[in-house]
Structure 1
């Protein structure tokens, strides 16, 4: 259980760091780039991937798609935390699990039981209530709802792609993960170089330091999540439920208490329904077994 707690702490810390980035005027794209440099370095250190196994026959279309999506969604994640706060962003990220579930049904023709259908239905209501705003609230900032929507869709698609990598048996998953981090770093670096050449940003040491800190916690989230699944190999649904519920609850507490994020009664209702949705989906996995 300690691995689940550590993974939750790392996940929420990433959101907190992105929240603080606005206060201290950190360049997100620079921090994200260094984040992937730190992540691939830690991946090499802890997982010791065999790069010799990477050949032209590897699933390069998935690698390239993830390399573009990961830094892009990270920027939307940062924008969502900045504009809507930790609470709503964390819920958008966690409820993105609906996309791989829907993909399993429509693409992979997986059977759905009643519990999963109930969970999905509650989840979609939760999404609506969590992001509901009164018409007179933040009229000039309507576009900010785009950010959590992109987080929701983006993380869902990323999850589907990573699941496809996990099913690719010709290469160890950790080797594929290392390859994705390398490519994501290169994509981010190209963006930074182009922005520096255009005079839009300047390289600053503080962004590099923040990027390494961000990368440490980002990788920690992945490492401890994988260790939790290994330690509780016979109870994957326990890891799934504890992780998602833990992030939603911890993110809500930190957002409301530490950052004074304002939520309406309908938003709180959405949070409660989001928790209920995760519980039903977890129960549905047990029912299948």
Structure 2
């Protein structure tokens, strides 16, 4: 479980850094751009680039654009809505991928998972500050829009990553390296345009901040993958512990360190989010057990049939 804990801490650290960016006058887009350079500098996943001609380039390209775009929106969400609400929206984005599995990929759901999805939908509605906020902070009134964009955007990204995980011609770690390298290239092209048009200028503090953000971001990915490897027989434990852990630690960080204010409705939403994730994780465990039982029954029936024929 140490890998789960490290992944949770890395994920919350990303939100904390995005929160601190404004305080230290960091250009979030520049920081996000340099964040993606970390994968190239560290050559993190030691990719095998021999089969890249078989790679799903369109899916890679979509992710290369979506990743930095949603990262920027996440920065706006953290700044205007706070760490707590942004982490809840980010974690409950799993409802998008689960819904896609049901409506698009025709996956069969048990009633318990449907209950979890329903509770999650109520949780996101409770966590988002729908009421108009009076503040001098530019964009504060759009915090609900940023949170919804994070919710749907990360959900779509998760669906695309799951499609890539099913693509066996290219190793998953190689795909990750290519995607993040492409995301860095896309972000850098946009940044160069902004520099040429004199909207921004390169400074070392943005680069250093971006590298720190990159270590936290890719630490989250690395430890999450290692957690699944270490607990390969119990993926639901990793799933639930990761998502619930981020919501709990993110809430404690936001409330205790950054003094974020939560309404009663927000607190209800956070509680429902934790319950929803736990129910979905348990439903996943039951589905896996049911598949094993059916496979075992089928094997027994086949053996009995063979004995009768003999």
TM-score by length of 2: 0.90
The answer for the alignment partner of 2:155 in structure 1 is 156
- Counterparts of 1:211-230 in structure 2, within 5 Å, are 211-230=210-229
Q: 2:87 aligns with which of 55, 67, 90?
A: 90
Q: How has the CA–CA distance of structure 1 residues 137 and 175 changed in structure 2, closer, same or farther, with 3 Å as cutoff?
A: same
Query: 1:258-282 deviations in whole A, cap 9, x for unaligned?
Result: 0000010111001000001101100
Shift in Å, 1:141: 3.6
Question: Is 1:49 matched with 2:64?
Answer: no
Question: Is 1:254 matched with 2:253?
Answer: yes
Query: 1:182-227 deviations in whole A, cap 9, x for unaligned?
Result: 1000000011011111111111100000011010110000000000
- Equivalenced residue count is 286
Q: Which runs of 5+ in 1 are unaligned?
A: none
The answer for the alignment partner of 1:122 in structure 2 is 119
The answer for the alignment partner of 2:299 in structure 1 is none
Q: Which runs of 5+ in 2 are unaligned?
A: 289-310
**Counterparts of 1:31 and 1:180, CA distance in 2:** 18
- Counterparts of 1:266-277 in structure 2, within 5 Å, are 266-277=265-276
The answer for the alignment partner of 1:109 in structure 2 is 106
The answer for the alignment partner of 1:8 in structure 2 is 8
The answer for the alignment partner of 1:36 in structure 2 is 36
**Counterparts of 2:167 and 2:259, CA distance in 1:** 44
Larger radius of gyration: 2
**Counterparts of 1:145 and 1:201, CA distance in 2:** 28
Which structure would you say has the larger RCO, counting Cα contacts within 8 Å and 6 or more residues apart?
1
Q: How has the CA–CA distance of structure 1 residues 116 and 207 changed in structure 2, closer, same or farther, with 3 Å as cutoff?
A: same
Shift in Å, 1:40: 3.3
Shift in Å, 1:137: 5.2
**Counterparts of 1:75 and 1:136, CA distance in 2:** 22
**Counterparts of 1:169 and 1:136, CA distance in 2:** 48
TM-score by length of 1: 0.96
Secondary structure at the aligned position of 1:277 is classed as helix
RMSD value, Cα: 1.3
Secondary structure at the aligned position of 1:127 is classed as helix
Cα contact 2:134–2:141 (8 A) shared by 1: no
Secondary structure at the aligned position of 1:104 is classed as helix
**Counterparts of 1:193 and 1:181, CA distance in 2:** 18
Secondary structure at the aligned position of 2:92 is classed as helix
Q: 1:77 aligns with which of 69, 74, 77?
A: 74
Shift in Å, 1:134: 4.0
The answer for the alignment partner of 1:169 in structure 2 is 168
**Counterparts of 1:282 and 1:38, CA distance in 2:** 32
Query: 1:23-59 deviations in whole A, cap 9, x for unaligned?
Result: 00001111111100013333x24x210122211x310
**Counterparts of 2:126 and 2:135, CA distance in 1:** 17
The answer for the alignment partner of 1:99 in structure 2 is 96
Shift in Å, 1:133: 4.2
Query: 1:114-136 deviations in whole A, cap 9, x for unaligned?
Result: 11111011111111111144456
